[in-house]
Amino acid sequence: MRGLSQRVQAMKPSATVAVNARALELRRQGVDLVALTAGEPDFDTPEHVKEAARRALLAGKTKYAPPAGIPELREALAEKFRRENGLGVKPEETLVTVGGKQALFNLFQAILDPGDEVIVLAPYWVSYPEMVRFAGGVPVEVETRPEEGFIPDPERVQRAITPRTKALVVNSPNNPTGAVYPKEVLEALARLALEHDFYLVSDEIYEHLIYEGEHFSPGTLAPEHTITVNGAAKAFAMTGWRIGYACGPKAVIQAMANVSSQSTTSPDTIAQWATLEALTNRESSQAFIAMAREAYRRRRDLLLSGLASLGLKAVRPSGAFYVLLDTSPFAPDEIRAAERLLEAGVAVVPGTDFAAYGHVRLSYATSEAQLQKALERFAEALSRAQV
């Protein structure tokens, strides 16, 4: 009778978390390693946000919060979604979660029955298909291609729709490709959701990290079909604070909150008050975002020019802080290439679990000095591979 459940045994651990943990452990052991693995800003949380957390502590705001989030933050979220995304939502149509990851996890638990299909655009963030499977759903991959800039083809998506299609997941700016989907493409995908009556899950966690192009929220076109997911982690360098948020149809949001009520109860109360400051102190927060975005832009350009000088191929990302690198000059497959780069002193994430075969993901959320060192080590690994 004893043992683990089949659904837990079938779930793979997050590849990005595992690789980053390995890199951190090697560093702790004294290994001189450049880690291009972490999907988190290397900047500290802005001081005005930390000060808000201190105020909350001093004010004794340390008790349980409602499962859907403190009312003040939900009101601020409704205003944020209206102002920045053009989404006419009410506070009761918003939800605060333990990171954006919990928002997605709760969503799939709330909407999926066994056998329901969810279309995911490959390459994809590693957790989407695992969350779908854990909820009893079936992930259906639709490829995006390097030669097309990893931009989805709506006709390709349409061909994947079946009577069992329950949802389509879009992520723009994208992890791991850095692609920013054009407005007309997102509009076409939203029309598919309307025509075929399925949910559109729009993961917009990187919305403030766009270097070319503009952000567009497809929920403006299909509000009753779209659940928009976001969070404080990337924009405000609050990864460890674990605050995500979402908005969408009231019944779906309430169902997601019900899942929270039986799991985490609520997100961290102090972190919610800090996030309220991040959203409402717009002058300080926008200054921080602009500073970080410009730093990432410089780092991206440094990394891309260095890779090009070595004859290495990568599709130019327009957002987020990732580059997918073609690994064919290093090894026959992305796993062996990642191993050879690690031997050269650079930790990267193999594209396998992203469905980015023949690629590794590089995160440029690190200093320019570290990126320059990584490029030097790429050159060393390349010379060894060509011997």
Chain position carrying tokens 């050879």: 340
Specify whether 277 is located in the same domain as 203. yes
Closest CA to 337 of 373, 371, 384, 290: 384
Domain boundary among 281, 311, 328: 281
Q: Could you give the CA distance from residue 61 to residue 4 in angstroms, rounded to a whole number?
A: 39
Q: Which amino acid is at 350?
A: P
Closest CA to 80 of 261, 265, 232, 259: 232
The tally of domains found in the chain comes to 2
Specify whether 291 is located in the same domain as 245. no
In a domain, 51, yes or no: no
Specify whether 166 is located in the same domain as 139. yes
Specify whether 261 is located in the same domain as 292. no
The two three-digit tokens of residue 233, written as one number = 């982690």
The two three-digit tokens of residue 31, written as one number = 């290994």
Q: pLDDT tens for residues 353-386?
A: 999 999 999 999 999 999 999 999 999 999 988 7
Backbone phi, psi, residue 135, to 5°: -85, 0
- Give yes or no for residue 136 having a pLDDT over 70: yes
Q: pLDDT tens for residues 86-127?
A: 999 999 999 999 999 999 999 999 999 999 999 999 999 999
In a domain, 127, yes or no: yes
Specify whether 275 is located in the same domain as 295. no
Strand order in the sheet with 199-203: 94-97, 244-247, 226-231, 199-203, 165-171, 117-122, 138-143
Specify whether 174 is located in the same domain as 274. yes
Q: Which amino acid is at 169?
A: V
Specify whether 88 is located in the same domain as 193. yes
pLDDT for the residue 28: 83
Specify whether 224 is located in the same domain as 330. no
Residue 183: give its domain's CATH number: 3.40.640.10
Specify whether 14 is located in the same domain as 115. no
Specify whether 196 is located in the same domain as 334. no
In a domain, 245, yes or no: yes
Contact 86, 235 (CB under 8 A): no
- Give yes or no for residue 140 having a pLDDT over 90: yes
Residue 316 is given by DSSP the state: P
Domain boundary among 227, 253, 281: 281
Specify whether 124 is located in the same domain as 270. yes
Contact 95, 246 (CB under 8 A): yes
Domain boundary among 281, 303, 337: 281
Question: For residue 114, what are the domain limits?
Answer: 62-281
- Give yes or no for residue 387 having a pLDDT over 60: no
The pLDDT of 164-188, averaged and rounded, is 98
